[in-house]
Amino acid sequence: MAAIARPRDGRMLGGVCAALARRFGTSATTMRVIFVLSCLLPGPQFLLYLALWVLLPSEKTATTAW
C-alpha cells in the first residue's frame, strides 16, 4: 500500500481531499462534496481535516539531476 501524500496539483486548500480521493480512486470533487456534507453532522470533521493537513506530507516533485 502506497503512502498518502498531498498532491501539488489539484489542491484547493491543503490538498487533503485530493490526496484521499487519489487513495480511494474517486474524484477530488466527490471527496470535497462528501467532506462538506459530513460537516453538517456533529463531529470533529474540521479538526480531522486540519490534522491531516499538518500530518500528511506534500508530494515530492521530480528534480533534475545535474
Phi, psi angle pair for 42, to nearest 5°: -70, 140
Q: What is the pLDDT of residue 65?
A: 56
Q: What is the pLDDT of residue 4?
A: 86
Q: Which residue has the higher pLDDT, 38 or 64?
A: 38
Cell output for 15: 490538498
Over residues 28-57, mean pLDDT? 92
Q: What is the pTM of this model?
A: 0.77
Q: By percentage, how much of the chain surpasses pLDDT 70?
A: 88
**29 pLDDT above the threshold of 70:** yes
Q: What is the pLDDT of residue 63?
A: 55
- Scored b (16 or more CB within 10 A) or e, 2-20 reads eebebeeeebeebbbbbbb
